Structure 1
Amino acid sequence: MTVSAGAKARWWKGITGYQWFVFAVAAGGWLFDNLDQRIFSLARITALQDLMGPHASMLDVQAFAKQATALFLIGWGIGGLTFGALGDRFGRARLLTIAILIYSICTGLTAICQTHWEFALLRLATGVGVGGVFGLAVALIAETVSGAARLAMLALLQVLSTVGNIGAAFAKMGVDTLASQQTIPADGSWRWLFAIGAIPALLAVASGMFLREAEPWLKLKQAGALPKGWLGSYGQLLADREERRNLLIGTLLAVAGVVGLWAVGEYAVDLQDAVFTTYFAAQNNGGNIAAQVAQAKNWAYLLQMVGGAMGMLIFTYIADRYGRRPAFTIGFSAAFVMTLFVYWRLETPTDAYWMMPLMGAAQLSVFAGFSIYLPELFGARVRGTGVSFAYNLGRFAAAGGSFASALLSTRMFAGFDAPAPLRYSAMVMCAVFLIGIVASRFAPETRGMSLRD
Structure 2
Amino acid sequence: MFQWFTQLTKSEKRTFWACFSGWGLDAMDTQMYALTIPTLIALWGMTRGEAGILGTTVLIMAALGGWAAGILSDRFGRVRILQITIAWFSLFTFLSAFTNSFWELMLTRSLQGIGFGGEWAVGAVLISETINPKLRGRVVGALQAGWAVGYGIAVLVTTILFDYVEQAIAWRVLFALGIVPAILVLWIRRNIEEAPVYVKERAKAEKNHDTVSIWEVFYRPSRATTLKAILLTFGIYGGNYVMITWLPAYLKLVLNLSINNIGGYLAINILGSFAGAFLNGWMADAFGRRKTFMIIACCQAVAVGIYTLAPINLAVTLVLGFVLGTLQSGTAAGTGAYIAELFPTRIRGSAQGLCGNAGRALGAVMPTMVGLISVRMGLGAAMGVCASAAYFLVVLAAFMLPETRGRDLNTVPDATEAIETNGSASAAPQRTNP
Same fold (TM over 0.5): yes
Which of 385, 390, 394 lines up with 1:428 in the alignment? Answer: 385
8 A Cα contact 1:276 1:293, kept in partner: no
Distance 1:327 1:154 in 2: 14
Residues 32 and 233 of structure 1: is their aligned pair in 2 closer, same or farther, counting only changes over 3 Å?
Answer: farther
- Answering whether residue 88 of structure 2 is matched by residue 108 of structure 1, we say no
8 A Cα contact 2:281 2:333, kept in partner: yes
3-state SS of paired residue (1:404)? helix
* Percentage of pairs with the same residue: 25
Give CA deviations for 1:60-83 in whole Å, capped at 9, x if unaligned. Answer: 432221111111112111111211
Give CA deviations for 1:382-440 in whole Å, capped at 9, x if unaligned. Answer: 11111111110012212322332233223xx1xxxxxx521232233121111111111
Aligned to 1:234: 214
8 A Cα contact 2:158 2:174, kept in partner: yes
Give the aligned residue type for 1:358. Answer: V
- Answering whether residue 421 of structure 2 is matched by residue 445 of structure 1, we say no
Which of 156, 159, 164 lines up with 2:150 in the alignment? Answer: 164
Distance 1:9 1:425 in 2: 38
Which of 26, 49, 52 lines up with 1:33 in the alignment? Answer: 26
Give the aligned residue type for 2:403. Answer: E
Distance 2:163 2:271 in 1: 22
8 A Cα contact 1:75 1:124, kept in partner: yes
* Per-residue deviation, 1:48: 4.4
8 A Cα contact 1:45 1:62, kept in partner: no
Give the aligned residue type for 2:76. Answer: F
8 A Cα contact 2:233 2:360, kept in partner: no
- Answering whether residue 254 of structure 2 is matched by residue 275 of structure 1, we say yes
Which of 374, 392, 396 lines up with 2:361 in the alignment? Answer: 396
Distance 1:408 1:64 in 2: 13
Give CA deviations for 1:278-299 in whole Å, capped at 9, x if unaligned. Answer: xxxxxxxxxxxxxx61111111
Residues 209 and 376 of structure 1: is their aligned pair in 2 closer, same or farther, counting only changes over 3 Å?
Answer: same
Give CA deviations for 1:301-352 in whole Å, capped at 9, x if unaligned. Answer: 1101111222222222221211111111111101111111111136654343
Give the aligned residue type for 2:246. Answer: Y
Which of 357, 370, 377 lines up with 2:322 in the alignment? Answer: 357
3-state SS of paired residue (1:263)? helix
Aligned to 1:187: 168
Consecutive unaligned residues of structure 1, counting only runs of 5 or more, are 1-7, 180-184, 278-291, 414-419
Which of 343, 353, 370 lines up with 1:378 in the alignment? Answer: 343
Which of 234, 238, 242 lines up with 1:259 in the alignment? Answer: 238
Residues 265 and 101 of structure 1: is their aligned pair in 2 closer, same or farther, counting only changes over 3 Å?
Answer: closer
Distance 2:310 2:335 in 1: 30
Distance 1:319 1:80 in 2: 24
Distance 1:321 1:187 in 2: 49
8 A Cα contact 2:140 2:337, kept in partner: yes
Aligned to 1:219: 200
Residues 315 and 152 of structure 1: is their aligned pair in 2 closer, same or farther, counting only changes over 3 Å?
Answer: closer
Distance 1:274 1:331 in 2: 29
Residues 130 and 275 of structure 1: is their aligned pair in 2 closer, same or farther, counting only changes over 3 Å?
Answer: same
Give the aligned residue type for 1:428. Answer: V
8 A Cα contact 1:49 1:61, kept in partner: no
What RMSD, in angstroms, separates the aligned Cα atoms of the two structures?
2.2
Residues 234 and 327 of structure 1: is their aligned pair in 2 closer, same or farther, counting only changes over 3 Å?
Answer: same
Consecutive unaligned residues of structure 2, counting only runs of 5 or more, are 412-434
Give CA deviations for 1:98-117 in whole Å, capped at 9, x if unaligned. Answer: 11011001111112222222
- Answering whether residue 290 of structure 2 is matched by residue 333 of structure 1, we say no
Distance 1:377 1:227 in 2: 25
Distance 2:156 2:134 in 1: 33
Distance 2:393 2:138 in 1: 27
Distance 1:124 1:391 in 2: 17
Give the aligned residue type for 1:369. Answer: G
* Per-residue deviation, 1:271: 1.5
8 A Cα contact 2:93 2:112, kept in partner: yes
Aligned to 1:15: 8
Aligned to 1:297: 262
Residues 189 and 228 of structure 1: is their aligned pair in 2 closer, same or farther, counting only changes over 3 Å?
Answer: farther
Comparing 75-84 and 110-119, the one that deviates more: 110-119
Aligned to 1:71: 57
3-state SS of paired residue (1:276)? coil
Greater RCO (Cα-Cα under 8 Å, separation 6 or more): 2
Distance 1:438 1:126 in 2: 32
TM-score calculated relative to the size of structure 1: 0.84
Give CA deviations for 1:93-133 in whole Å, capped at 9, x if unaligned. Answer: 11111110110011111122222221121110100000101
Give the aligned residue type for 1:422. Answer: L
* Per-residue deviation, 1:264: 4.7
3-state SS of paired residue (1:111)? helix
TM-score calculated relative to the size of structure 2: 0.88
8 A Cα contact 1:31 1:162, kept in partner: yes
Aligned to 2:81: 95
3-state SS of paired residue (2:4)? coil
3-state SS of paired residue (1:46)? helix
Q: How does 1:197-216 map to 2 (within 5 A)?
A: 197-216=178-197
Distance 1:227 1:71 in 2: 38
Give the aligned residue type for 2:61. Answer: G
Q: Give the length in aligned residue pairs.
A: 409
Distance 1:194 1:121 in 2: 14
Distance 1:305 1:341 in 2: 19
8 A Cα contact 1:45 1:61, kept in partner: no
8 A Cα contact 1:88 1:227, kept in partner: no
Give the aligned residue type for 1:49. Answer: A
Residues 64 and 227 of structure 1: is their aligned pair in 2 closer, same or farther, counting only changes over 3 Å?
Answer: farther
- Answering whether residue 41 of structure 2 is matched by residue 84 of structure 1, we say no
3-state SS of paired residue (2:119)? helix
Aligned to 1:3: none
Aligned to 1:140: 126
